[in-house]
Structure 1
Amino acid sequence: MTQKLSGWDDTIVAIATPQGIGAIGVIRLSGKNAIVITNQLFPSKDLIRQPSHTLHVGLIKEDNAAIDEVVVSLFKNPKSYTGEDVVEISCHGSPYVQQQVVQACIHKGARLAKPGEFTQRAFLNGKLDLTQAEAVADLIASNTAASQQTALHNIRGGFSDVLKKLREELIQFSALIELELDFSQEDVEFADRKKFYALIQSAEQTTTGLLHSFQLGNVIKNGVSVAIVGKPNAGKSTLLNTLLNENRAIVSEIAGTTRDTIEEIINIDGILFRLIDTAGIRDDSSDIIELIGIEKSREKIEQSDEVIYIFDVNTESAGELQGAKALIKEKNKNYLLVGNKTDVAGDAAAAEKFAGESVLYISAKEQQHINLLKQKLVDKIIKGNLNTENTIVTNARHYEALQQVQASLIEIKNGLDNNIPGDLLALDIRRCLHYISEITGDITNETVLDLIFSQFCIGK
């Protein structure tokens, strides 16, 4: 079980705002002496006598030398982020001034905080569980509406609530089964096996749903890479420029202009797409530099999550399109066929030429059907599943533990099917509870905590 670790009863200090010059900088202290330390630097008022959740204006001084005029915010335990006494000093945003305030706090007995130490103390003091703590880091790192809302959902306890409900029900049945063991000679049954079986089936479905959500969660958190491939002069660079709404790639009528890959990020409906413009793929080039670019294009197909195969509807044949599809399928990649330059051939003629193929026809140069292409990309990735009010797994640690939870639930169900003795059933339940508790942090160790919180920024 989680417990207060040694060395966690001191007072820490750190700058909580980003590095660089700004209007305001915030220095945060947490610990049993946070208010006492600040009080020694703030002669304007006796902060120890002031109530919690109040603001105070005055000078920060060290050895009677004024450092800055500040606003001090008091949050007395347990009603604070960390559950300890917390002080936030809002000073002017000069990096020099901020460092002077931090050093003054250290001179009075504070210690410089480690990355994530404020949130780690919040976890250790029971202000939030481990999934909520990790969601804090996700929220700080969020760069789209989808990642923001998913993190907020988990901070509010969305994921935790699902796990806590399952854990409580399993504990209840485990207690009843272990009670049966105490009366084993009297052949009594306290746990309703039918209800328990229904619970396990429901839990298995819930766990399966969470595991399936990880693929989408990974997209929300990390984005998706899309390789734009095709023959030379098919319009790959023009499409990239059109999607980005800027001239990022050089466009020329000369085949083989793009020699190296170009990568740019675009946000479409809350999903980050990393678009990769590649060199045109052809077999008849004698240009050594172009051949290197073609080889890189093949590598990018391997590395990408999705492939846009763009082709010129005026010059590509139906047979050549089949060959391109075979190449992409051989690499086991999801793909979208995009027929370009329909401003020349016309949509109807292109559709007749490639009848039977699932092709989206566009004109990258004239920006025709580009919004439809964007929507197709989003639909292929999220498959209609993007609802940030649902619990979506975005953390690899959670995913691995959930796999163990699912395996344990299957063992429990098999045990019920085979009428195994209560003591063996109780062992399977305990194993399942162990993995659930690893996710929420009810069972953890200092090494795991250090690894998780080391990924946070200092001051949070």
Structure 2
Amino acid sequence: MISQETIVALASPSGAGAIAVIRISGKEAISIAEQVFQSVSGKSISQQKTHTIHLGHIVDEGKVYDQVLLSIFKNPHSYTGEDVIEISCHGSTFIQQQIIQLLLRKGCKMAQAGEFTLRAFLNGKLDLSQAEAVADLIASDNEASHQIAMQQMRGGFSNEIAKLRAELLNFASLIELELDFAEEDVEFADRTQFKELLNRIEFVLKRLIDSFAVGNVIKNGIPVAIVGEPNVGKSTLLNALLNEERAIVSDIAGTTRDTIEDELVINGIGFRFIDTAGIRDTKDVVESIGIKKTFEKIEQAQVVIYLFDSLKFQVSGSEYIAEIEKVKNKYPLKSIVIVINKVDLISQDEVSSMSQKLEALNLKPILMSAKEKQGIDELKNLLLSFVNTGALRNNETIITNSRHYDSLIKALEEIQKVSFGLNSGLSSDLMAIDIKQALYYFGEITGEVTNDELLGNIFANFCIGK
């Protein structure tokens, strides 16, 4: 799967910057770097200790490329488990390319996407779930997704799975031993303890599987569609939430012809707000396409903010209430947030009267003025309530990876088969088959069971240089 060649890549973002970091890893990393690096102290870097930094110049045939800092990480005490050299040079794209091309001429090979982390996995520095967490950590764009990735990279999830796998493996060994003494009809595995273990494993697996619903939205952001009739203030609401003029606002109905999306982080949780075209009957071809997209976005959204104009609601309240019930029935699994906008245009008595009527119908809308930014904080707090962040506060393991989710479901199915067999008095040889399958799916998560195709799919999504 992996070559033994020494690899090189830019480890910092591409483009110009203050500095850039070029990473080399492999058996020849130090000797290749020594050919092009001249320390200002005159020391040979091959003779220096690991985890040391040296000031010098990148030089080839008398030509000085740059003044750099060179860091040495000797195996096995490095990220990849191999000898690693990191060169911190000035961030000119010309300098970056000149140094990389020089290292290629000296015997390095360009690293593939994720190849440094792949080597870390193959050399036992990380298990597979921790390696995947590296990519999640790089991609994290809010506090919650960062916290989950950090916990997984530190081995929280791996340790939990490894402990369960070790206990199950112990009982599997006893079951296999019973098969060797089948004629003597003896039991080495305590059935009561085995049943307790299976119940505990099932409980943990169900908790991890259930956490995926929260983890997935935290990782990818919670999609929120803002819908309603034209000119009720959808774009104004989006601008108020983002605190910037993201969407065009005018008094002309149908101004928003297409969906506009932007992201906002609220208390560490990412939300993807989608401002949609106003829903109405129209003969305008372009606007009709926008309205069609609105319904598509409602289907994709996890939360729907249904916006109404307070003045129109006073006149046609019964029709709107019927429309709200219709939407709730059409999307029973979605969280529908009713917002009455433009309350700054009606009196306080009218606001109170409207609120009482709606609460009597078991409807609790948010009364707001998006233009004056009244009720924005209340809406944000309500959106946060749809996300179960208790697991984050309690530092529980949360699953965000669909591959892990799939393996956990398959492992749970096998554990339930074993439990059924145990309760039914099934023979040890048949139970052993299901136990082996459960162990296989546990191993898939941490990488104890793997293949080249799986590794290729996982690491192909990494950035070059990591």
Match of 2:125 in 1: 127
Match of 1:180 in 2: 178
Residue ranges of structure 1 left out of the alignment (5+ in a row): none
CA distance in 2, matches of 1:86, 1:326: 62
CA distance in 2, matches of 1:24, 1:257: 45
Aligned length: 454
Higher mean C-alpha deviation, range 190-199 or range 345-354: 345-354
> Cα offset for 1:76?
0.6
Q: What is the TM-score of this pair, normalised by structure 1?
A: 0.95
Look up the equivalent residue of 2:183 and give its one-letter code.
Q
Match of 2:30 in 1: 35
RMSD: 1.6
Match of 1:259 in 2: 257
Higher mean C-alpha deviation, range 163-172 or range 271-280: 271-280
Give deviations 1:398-444, integer Å, cap 9, x for gaps: 11111101111111111111111111111111100000101100010
CA distance in 1, matches of 2:170, 2:391: 33
1:457 and 2:460 correspond: no
Higher mean C-alpha deviation, range 202-211 or range 132-141: 202-211
Look up the equivalent residue of 1:220 and give its one-letter code.
I
> CA separation of 1:351/1:384 partners in 2, compared to 1, >3 Å: closer, same or farther?
farther
Give deviations 1:101-146, integer Å, cap 9, x for gaps: 1112111111111010000000000001000000000000110011
Match of 2:307 in 1: 310
Residue ranges of structure 2 left out of the alignment (5+ in a row): none
- Report % sequence identity: 52
Higher mean C-alpha deviation, range 183-192 or range 199-208: 183-192
Q: What is the TM-score of this pair, normalised by structure 2?
A: 0.94
Q: The residue matched to 1:456 in structure 2 has which SS?
A: coil
> CA separation of 1:388/1:42 partners in 2, compared to 1, >3 Å: closer, same or farther?
farther
Higher mean C-alpha deviation, range 286-295 or range 124-133: 286-295
Q: The residue matched to 1:314 in structure 2 has which SS?
A: helix
Higher mean C-alpha deviation, range 261-270 or range 438-447: 261-270
CA distance in 2, matches of 1:345, 1:212: 46
Match of 2:437 in 1: 431
CA contact (8 A) 1:153 1:388 kept: no
CA contact (8 A) 2:391 2:397 kept: no
CA contact (8 A) 2:391 2:398 kept: no
Give deviations 1:293-334, integer Å, cap 9, x for gaps: 322222221222211001123322133222233134314432
Residue from 128, 131, 138 that aligns with 2:136: 138
Match of 2:399 in 1: 393
Query: How does 1:270-289 map onto structure 2 within 5 Å?
Result: 270-283=268-281, 285-289=282-286
Give deviations 1:218-273, integer Å, cap 9, x for gaps: 11111121111112222211111111112222223333332222212111122221
> Cα offset for 1:183?
1.9
> Cα offset for 1:351?
0.7
> CA separation of 1:111/1:290 partners in 2, compared to 1, >3 Å: closer, same or farther?
closer
Look up the equivalent residue of 1:158 and give its one-letter code.
G
CA distance in 2, matches of 1:238, 1:104: 55
1:226 and 2:232 correspond: no
Look up the equivalent residue of 1:406 and give its one-letter code.
L
Higher mean C-alpha deviation, range 198-207 or range 316-325: 316-325
Match of 2:155 in 1: 157
Match of 1:339 in 2: 340
Query: How does 1:378-417 map onto structure 2 within 5 Å?
Result: 378-382=384-388, 384-387=390-393, 389-417=395-423
Q: The residue matched to 1:24 in structure 2 has which SS?
A: strand
Look up the equivalent residue of 1:236 and give its one-letter code.
K
Q: The residue matched to 2:33 in structure 1 has which SS?
A: helix
CA distance in 1, matches of 2:154, 2:52: 25
Q: The residue matched to 1:350 in structure 2 has which SS?
A: helix
CA contact (8 A) 1:314 1:345 kept: no
Match of 1:26 in 2: 21
